[in-house]
Structure 1
Amino acid sequence: MDERQKVAELSSRLEHLLRLRGLIDENGEIVIASGENLPSQLEDMLDGLVENAAELRSLIQIGRAVRRGEQVSAAVASAAKVMAAEVCDALYESFEGRQKPLN
């Protein structure tokens, strides 16, 4: 699997996890305003991986761009792959025994 495919897969997984937590609505939009901090429970889960809603939104936008086949530099794709993998891992760990929405 190449870098772009991995980014596409991880970003889809990330969006799914955020949807389960009530942080992405039925239109695929993040329900936290860009300038706002993440909910404290999510902030604790991500432990500094993502500092605010703008960073999370950017990560999702990069993943969506890759899935649409848009050009993304190799450096951006590589960084997005690492970040999405770490965020997904942190969210997966939080799901063990706790499925209630954060919002």
Structure 2
Amino acid sequence: MIHQFAVGDQVSLAFGFYDQAAVGLYAVTRLLPSRTDGEPQYRVKGSDDRERVIGEAQIERAGGNRTSTKPARQGSLHNPITETFNRLRLEEKG
């Protein structure tokens, strides 16, 4: 499968991405080999200098224009890990 994004493109996480702390803009820094199922992968870097490897179905062009032919991964309405992190974050503030 061909990569839909290029080095330097600005992307954001697609709706349904599990890591709520990862919201924001990222710049594509490197094109990586595709996964065994053919999905292209990228190395992206956020404004907080945090880097991650992410599949094409999990990102979209900054501004919300999806270019991938694969649907974004659907998040569960009940995610116990996210709920635990949210609860711990609230306890720290309280």
Normalising by the smaller structure, the TM-score range is: 0.3 to 0.5
Give the number of the structure whose residues are more often strand, by fraction.
2
Q: TM-score, normalised by structure 2?
A: 0.33
Give the number of the structure whose residues are more often helix, by fraction.
1
Greater RCO between the two (CA within 8 Å, min separation 6)? 1
